[in-house]
Each structure stands twice: as C-alpha cells, then as structure tokens.
Amino acid sequence: MYQSIKEAVKNIFGSEVRIESQQSVSGGDINEAYRLLLSNGEEVFLKTKKGAGENFFRAEAKGLLALKEAGANVPEVLGVGNESLGERFLLLSYERSNRPARDYWTLLGHNLANIHRAQTASWTKDGVYGFYDDNFIGATKQKNNPKSGWTEFFRDNRLGAQMKFADHYFAKEDKRLCLKLLDKLGDFLVEPQFPSLLHGDLWSGNVMPDRLGKPMLIDPAVYVGHHEADIAMTELFGGFSPVFYAAYHEIIPRNPGYVERRDIYNLYHLLNHLNLFGSSYLAAVRRIVKKYVG
C-alpha cells in the first residue's frame, strides 16, 4: 500500500524513474483513468477514485490475480495506494491496443470457458460459492459470503442485497413481487454441474485487446458461481460476436433452459445500475420481476 503515486513508481521501476506525462483515458463511469509515460520509456495505467475505501482497489487487484491464476489474460497488478486528500489509486501495466487479433472472439470464447472450468477451491473459504473476500460491482459493495448452494448464494448475496439497496425506488407492489421472486428463486435457477470463477461484470467494455491484439479482461467483480451468470451478462448490453458464443460452447455446452434463466441473472446488474445511476433502470427491473412472478 503506497502513500503516493510517485512513491509507487520509484519503488516499482527504480528511484531515478519519474512520471514524464499523464494522459486521461476515457471509458469508465466509476473511476478516473490515465496513461502514464515514465522517464524510462515504459507506460503504466493509473486508476484513481476520491473517497473510496481502503479496500476498493485492493479488491480489484485480488480479482485480477484470481483471474490470472485461472488462466485469464489480465493486466499486471503493479501496486495500490492512497494519494493525498483520500484519493485511492491502482497501478497496472498498460496493454491497450486498437487492433484486435483476427481470431479475437474465438480466443475469448475458449479462454473464458477454460477459466470457468478451473478448480475453484482456493478462492472460497467455507463454501462452494462466494469468494474469500468481499469486493465491488462498479462502486457497489458486493458481499461474497460463502454458501453451499448456488441458488442460496444468488438469492442472499446478489438479488436480495441489491433489492435492499433499491428499496427506496420500489412501490409497495414492487416490494411484494421482489420478495415473492426471492422466495421462488429455486423454481427458476438450477445448480451447476461445477462451480466456476466468474469475471462478474462481463460486458463489452470490460474486454479489450492487449498489445498483441489478444482479448484481455479488466475491471472484474469476481466470485465463484454458475458460469451462466457471466454468459448472461455478455448478452445484456448488445451482446458479443456469435463467434465468441460458438467457441465458448465448444468447451462448455449450453444448458437446457438457459434462455429462460438469463433475465434473472441480468436482473442483478439492472438492479445495480438502478442503485448506481438512478430510476431510468426501474422499468427494466419491474419488467423482469413481473415476468417471473407477476
């Protein structure tokens, strides 16, 4: 935990190395992001957030390291710290490219499936599902209390938690239907054949080509769960290339009934967007809840 960005750069790259320039990088809604050019010619990626808790970027670093252990292509974690005035920061290797490889989507599909097939025991404490520490989905705290059942985990740590955060948006009927959905969740979800380490926030903005054009995962909200939850998220905001899904399902075939379950998985992300960005997401949340129990 470094006390300043300058201290981190000197400790990581050498006492003579300094920051030559800092360029803003667009794309995120939660954090400020910058490309730093160092005096030794190297580039690093800097994320900052004012007012964040001490564990905010530590949690992201832990998620990236877990994905790397599972075989994912992720940026290298260089360090985390606390700049003056309560500004937390995360330093990563800078890997961005604007030219994806020709087999980009095939590589991503195969890689994600292999991540989902990795052994998960080292990432959970006392249960099959969860993670060894809590983390964040965007700026929202994400509880990862271990559970032995997937439906129980998704009910208590995902939908139930977000519904509590969103309580002030809901009318009386909304609250009744939300409770009904939580009570009947076992009628809709199924237990997976194997637990999977999930990226947790897998939309197109959190996948990018690295310097070689190969797909790289960023901004995770990891936990061990059902692999369908990651696939559902890829379809929420426009979807990935059909080549990606074909490659993924070469390794992990699609389970019967997935399409019927998909909206429940994505209800979690829509609730989170409701809590982060406001009432424009309320209609979508209501539509999904009513679809299942209305």
- Which residues participate in catalysis according to the annotation? 201
Smallest CA-to-CA distance from 244 within 140, 116, 103 is with 103
All domains of the chain, ordered by start, with CATH? 5-93 (3.30.200.20), 104-293 (3.90.1200.10)
Q: How large a percentage of the chain has pLDDT more than 70?
A: 99
CB-CB neighbours of 97 under 10 Å: 14
Smallest CA-to-CA distance from 232 within 199, 197, 272, 202 is with 202
What's the pLDDT score for residue 49? 92
Smallest CA-to-CA distance from 61 within 79, 84, 88 is with 79
DSSP assignments along 114-132, one per residue:
HHHTS--GGG-SSSSBB-S
For 34-93, the pLDDT digits (tens) are 999 999 999 999 999 988 888 999 999 999 999 999 999 999 999 999 887 778 999 999
**Strand ranges for 175-269 from DSSP E:** 196-198, 207-209, 215-217, 223-225
Angle of CA points 243, 247, 252, to nearest 5°: 140
For 129-185, the pLDDT digits (tens) are 999 999 999 999 999 999 999 999 999 999 999 999 999 999 999 999 999 999 999
Q: What CA–CA distances, in Å, run from 122 to 67, 133, 142, 246? A: 12, 12, 19, 29
DSSP 15: T
Mean pLDDT of the chain, nearest integer: 95
**Strand ranges for the chain from DSSP E:** 19-24, 32-38, 43-50, 77-83, 87-93, 135-137, 140-142, 196-198, 207-209, 215-217, 223-225
Residues in the chain: 294
pTM recorded for the entire structure? 0.95
